[in-house]
Amino acid sequence: MTRLPGAPTYVRGLINLRGTIVTVLDLGLRLDATRPPTIDGSILLVRIGEHVAGLVVSEVVDVRAIAVDDTTPNANEGITRGLATVDGTPVLVLDLEALLTQVLRF
């Protein structure tokens, strides 16, 4: 992974994925600036339109489709869409497009 000088601390760097340059973000560090960067973990690839990014995550527990209408909007218009309830447990729903737009400027 190649670090980017001057990038925010949550931008871990760039990787070459089969000829495609992918920006990698430390999702945990982006959500909680007080925690140390993830040293080990997996890179979850996400695609928004034609843009691909990698998110460093400590683990992926489950993947579910959640309709935007099923979320309770939050007052913060940042990188979260709101809260959803999955099997009786509240889950924070991220706005990946907003997150990637902050870094990739597309």
Cα(49)–Cα(57) distance, rounded to whole angstroms?
22
Residue at 82 is within a domain:
yes
Nearest CA-CA partner of 54 in 8, 93, 99 = 99
53 or 77: which leads in pLDDT: 53
Q: What is the model's pLDDT at position 106?
A: 57
Q: Are 21 and 13 spatial neighbours (Cβ–Cβ below 8 Å)?
A: no
Domain assignment of residue 33, given as a range: 11-104
36 or 60: which leads in pLDDT: 60
DSSP-derived pairing of the beta strands 72-73 and 80-86: antiparallel
Q: What is the CATH number of the domain that holds 64?
A: 2.40.50
> What would the pLDDT profile of 64-91 be if each residue is shown by its tens digit?
887 766 677 665 557 888 888 888 888 8
Domain count, the chain: 1
pTM, whole model, 2 decimals?
Answer: 0.76
Q: How crowded is residue 66: how many other Cβ atoms within 10 Å of its Cβ? A: 13
